[in-house]
Amino acid sequence: MIDDAIRVLAGDCTVIAEGTEREEYRGRVTTIVKPDNTVLVHDVDGYQPVAWLTRADSVSSDRANDFTLVAKKDTQTLRIAAHDQDGFAHYPSSAAGPPVGTCPDCDGALVRSSDVHCVGCGTRYGVPRDATIQADGSRCECGLSRMRVERGLAFDVCLDRNCESLDEAVAEAFDREWDCPEADCDGDLRILRRGGLIAGCERYPDCDTGFAIPAGVIDGECGCGLPTFDTHTGSRCLDATCERVLERRLEAEPASDD
C-alpha cells in the first residue's frame, strides 16, 4: 500500500499562526498537509513557506461555510480559512529515492529510501543500511535486483529475504566458527538474529556472551582469539570493547624518531 496521501488546499485564504505571538496573513496560497501532519503554507514568493507547523499533534478540517483547516501542536495553532477555494484534494504519496530496479509484481519503479519500495504498488523490502544495490543490473531469478552486504564476507543476495536469506548465508559461513572467549566456557558462537545479527554463545542462558556482527569483512585475528573486521572506521575486533586490536596496532607501528 502507498503511504498516506498528501492533502492540498489552494485558494484565497486567511492564515493565522498563534504561539508566543500571533501572526495573520491573507493571500492566494497553497497549503500542503503531509502524512506526518507537517503543514506548509506557500505563497508566490521564495522557497520558504509563509507559515508552517512541523508534525502537528492534530490536523482537523471543517467544510461548512468557509473551508477551515486547523493544526495544533502543544501551545501552537495554525489556522487556514479559505474564502475562495480553488481546490482541495488528496494525492497518493510515497518516500522518494534513487531508482534501483523494477518491481516484478507490477513493473513499477523500485526506489531506495529507508528501505526499498515500489512506487507503483507499495511493496517493501527491508535492506541493511550499509547494503549496496548492485549497479550492474544483475537480478535474482525472481526478477528483483540483488544487493551486496558485508558481514564477515561480502554476500550477494536477493533484495527479498524470503527469496534468499542473508541470515542463512552468514550462518552457513560462520556458525560455530569461533569459540566463546569467556573463561571456563567451552561453548561455540552461534549466528543468531536478536534485532540484528549476532554471534552468541550456544550455552545461553548459562553464558550470555554475544557480539553484534559488524558491517565489514574479516581481515585477521585479534589477540583475544576472535576475528577482526575491516570496517569503514578501520579494523576492529568482533568484541567492540576489546583493547587487543589497539595493542596490535601499536606494536605494528614503526617507532617514532622523536
Cα 242 from Cα 27, distance rounded (Å) = 63
Looking at residue 125, its pLDDT comes to 93
pLDDT at 257: 55
In this prediction, residue 94 carries a pLDDT of 86
The pTM assigned to this predicted structure is 0.71
What pLDDT is recorded for position 1? 41
User: What single-letter amino acid sits at 234?
Assistant: G
* Burial 33-60, CB ≥16 within 10 A → b, else e: bbeebbbbbbbeeeeebbbbbeebeebe
| pLDDT score, position 61 | 85
Nearest to 100 by CA among 114, 89, 77, 116: 116
Q: What does the domain layout of the chain look like in residue ranges?
A: 3-93, 99-164, 172-252
Query: Mind listing the pLDDT tens digit for each residue in 27-79?
Result: 999 999 999 999 999 999 988 999 999 999 999 988 766 689 999 999 999 99
Instruction: Quote the pLDDT of residue 67.
Output: 81
Q: Which CATH number fits domain 3-93: 1.10.3720.10, 1.20.210.10, 3.30.930.10, 2.70.180.20?
A: 2.70.180.20
Low-confidence residues of the chain: pLDDT under 70: 1-3, 64-66, 135-137, 244-258
Q: Rounded to an integer, what distance in angstroms lies between the CA atom of residue 226 and that of residue 238?
A: 6
